[in-house]
Amino acid sequence: MSANDDPQFWANARAHLVRYGGSFSPIIATSAAGNWFTDADGRRILDFTSGQMSAILGHSHAEIVSVARHYIGQLDHLYSSILSRPVVELATLLASVSPGKLDRVLLISTGGESNEAALRMAKLVTGKYEIVAMSRSWHGVTGGASSATYANGRPGYGPAMPGALALPAPDSYRSRFIDDRGVYDWRSELEMGFEMVDRQSTGALAACIVEPILSSGGVLEPPEGYIAALAEHCRARGMHLIFDEAQTGLGRTGHLFACERDGVVPQYLTLSKTLGAGLPLAAMLTTPEIEDIAAERGFLFYTTHASDPLPAAVGLKVIEVILRDCLAERAAELGERLKSGLMALQQRYDCIGDVRGRGLLLGLDLVKDRRGKTPDPDLAQRVARECLARGMMTSVVRGGFGIFRIAPPLTIEPAEIDLGLEIFDKALAAALA
């Protein structure tokens, strides 16, 4: 019997764990190192998901381990009003590398928290309450963040917060604004979206929160020019703009921040996942002008782990490694290798409707037929199971889209990319058979 089939383990899991996001994978993890983790049978599994999109430097990176060991023994957690050098140094570093004048930083634990903080500050500073988000967005599961999340997870929880409004997500593959020639008229779609926002608004538009690439919504990459046009719509309405870079920030897309491709600086930028390289660490950045007003009005976002020194020290090392080892540039280069390989598979398998994304954040869209572009979520789940059986962990986004989100660590090796492509090839063939 496989050690992964331990009946007592799974009986305890069924008896005592809350099922928080679908089924658990049928393996028991025992260790992780580099771009792999190991299961109870001693089988190494290539991690094409970077854990929960967080292990941007791979697992158990030697320098991260060293910093974490040092601070767990010297300075781990403090009362949130007590500052330490790692906290101030990380805030200073983030201010120096971020775009524009995003010089004020709040350090907390999760992406949901950082988005919640940005939304609260925008409401307080503008004196308004309406929040606009994309129709395929994912920003978290806390009150304000979940109200601005439309990818999935809304049914059954009662009303969202007042003022939650949606824009159509920019989908260059399936948008209804693609004509018979295949030309995507995103400007008309965006204008129509804001016209609908204006009609629904009570005159209290506070902010628009956007992922520069909609990751959990299916790796939807806005066309060039879209983000700049969106920012102009926000300016015209006096709205603050929030970029949620939880999954796109710190090099994954080939830029240190994904918004840099578009040359747009928001009023707020949020980070999580990649900042802690697997540890719970998040940040909300804003301008001194906005933060001064918020402080004067008594801004409150007091959490147990605000300004904790241990994760801050880890975040410092994460950014140091990314900059020193030119990992953003590496992500752009290896992303082209991965994307080319996926497009080669698309030529061989009619079920691959689209390959999209940037750097090491790519989407593989499986369809029942290319002409109708009908999603095939059942096939995607079969392919994911076949990948795991062949030694690779993958991620299929929720919501019934049938889309793989492919995001290996930035430390992935070219040979490991080729291996991942080979596993996808065999998994597709087996699932279709």
Residues known to be catalytic: 138, 211, 244, 247, 273, 405
HSE-up (13 A, CA, CB side) for residue 182: 3
Which residues in 214-229 are b (16+ Cβ under 10 Å) and which e?
bbbbbbbbbeeebbeb
Q: Quick one: three-class SS letters along the chain?
A: CCHHHCHHHHHHHHHHCCCCCCCCCCCCEEEEEECEEEECCCCEEEECCHHHHCCCCCECCHHHHHHHHHHHHHCCCCCCCCCCHHHHHHHHHHHHHCCCCCCEEEEECCHHHHHHHHHHHHHHHHCCCEEEEECCCCCCCCHHHHHCCCCCCCCCCCCCCCCEEEECCCCCCCCCCECCCCCECHHHHHHHHHHHHHHHCCCCEEEEEECCCECCCCCECCCCCHHHHHHHHHHHCCCEEEEECCCCCCCCCCCCCHHHHHCCCCCEEEECHHHCCCCCCEEEEECHHHHHHHHHCCCCCCCCCCCCHHHHHHHHHHHHHHHHCCHHHHHHHHHHHHHHHHHHHHHHCCCEEEEEEECCEEEEEEECCCCCCCECHHHHHHHHHHHHHCCEECCECCCCCCEEEECCCCCCCHHHHHHHHHHHHHHHHHHHC
